[in-house]
A = this chain, B = another copy of it.
Amino acid sequence: MAYTLAQIAAHFGGRVLGDAGIEYDQITTLELANSRQISFLANSKYRAQLDSTRAGAVILGEADAEATDLPRIVTKNPYAYFAKVSAMLNPYPAAVPGVHPGAVVGAGAKIAPTASVAATAVIGSGVVIGAQSVIGAGCFIGDNVTIGVGVRLYPRVVIYHDCVVGDHLIAHSGAVIGADGFGFAMDEGRWIKIPQVGRVVIGDDVEIGANTTIDRGALDDTVIEDGVKLDNQIQIAHNVKIGAHTAIAGCVGIAGSTTIGKRCQIGGSAGILGHLRIADDVVIAAFTLIGKSIHEAGSYAAIFPFSKTDDWRKNAVHLRHLDEMSKRIKALEQALLKQGSIKGNN
């Protein structure tokens, strides 16, 4: 697959400068690109790399439009443009439509003729799979699951019964959607299981990383809105709601019944306790536990800064005495206040 800048600009817009008729077959970094490849400059601070690149063409922003003589496309958002061109140059391999004879399909399943179901996939009864969707090897789709169009389930994705998946979901291997939430009642020293009768309902254009888990709701549903992007190894507990276009990095855990706003960004290994509300446009740093609702957009953090282990040990020991330290400071202030050496203002 190869395209000229003219063809690319016809698809995605932008202003072509230089020779628009040369074909390119890949897009990559300024450092890696060769003359058959396009590159991109998404951040002006790397402008110097334009001088040394061997790329055949470049995508860049208005500010850098004249920073090179290479054939180029000038656009408002070079990084997004790069993503679009890359998708054009790197299409998914065509999946063979139809159900592989090594798949197992339950009674009453409705699989679109253009959908593809691989060997060893197991599809429950009453399942609906939309056009052009691809179900990989070893996937399990529980009874009465509904899957939209253009969905791509990599091998070994599991979707439990009754869940609903919108269009264009991408779910990576090992993802488990709709397992029971963690709900128990204590009864005379033993935990009694609370049946989890809700579902997981997933909007359109969602991506779910490898080995990420999203539990079904206890009574009501767990909801993942349109455009949400989840990295690997994430745990989403029952009845969580994640707002549209929120992106969550790997290893994050979100406890039950928490509602997260739209367009949030949550860093790796962060956590959010249960029954909280996080506003729209909140950014949470990696490794940060959110223990209270956040009502205001903005950036939040709680990271313990690392140091050499010896230094850490010397400093960390005082964390168990901060309250005492605070009281000692107050006592000193009182003494100096009494002397008249400092003035009180609190």
Contacts and interface: CB of A to CB of B under 8 A. Distances in A.
Interface string A234-259: 01010000000101011101010000
Interface string A295-338: 00011111111111111111111111111011011011101101
Contact of A194 (B86, B136, B140, B325): B86
Interface string A174-198: 1010011010111101111111010
A117 interface: no
Contacts of A154: 158, 160, 179
A26 to B, nearest CB: 8
Nearest to A85: B195
Interface in A263-307: 263, 268-269, 271, 273, 283-291, 298-307
Given A174-B211, A213-B209, A301-B306, A140 B122 contact: no
A210 interface: yes
A215 interface: yes
A306 B145 CA distance: 39
A143 to B, nearest CB: 7
Interface stretch (A44-52, A66-74, A75-83): A75-83
A294 to B, nearest CB: 9
A213 B195 contact: no
A4 interface: no
A138 interface: yes
Given A155-B158, A286-B291, A302-B305, 4 more contacts: A269-B289, A291-B303, A317-B323, A318-B322
Interface in A33-50: none
A172 interface: yes
B305 A291 contact: yes
Q: Copies of this chain, how many?
A: 3
A53 interface: no
Interface stretch (A15-23, A127-135, A224-232): A224-232
Contact of A176 (B179, B211, B288): B211
A: contact size bracket: 35 or more
Contact of A286 (B186, B287, B289, B303): B289
A261 B239 CA distance: 30
Given A158-B173, A172-B179, A305-B319, A120 B122 contact: yes
Contacts of A211: 174, 176, 211, 213, 233
A156 interface: yes
Contact of A172 (B122, B138, B176): B176
Contacts of A79: 185-186
Contacts of A29: 219-220
Nearest to A337: B335
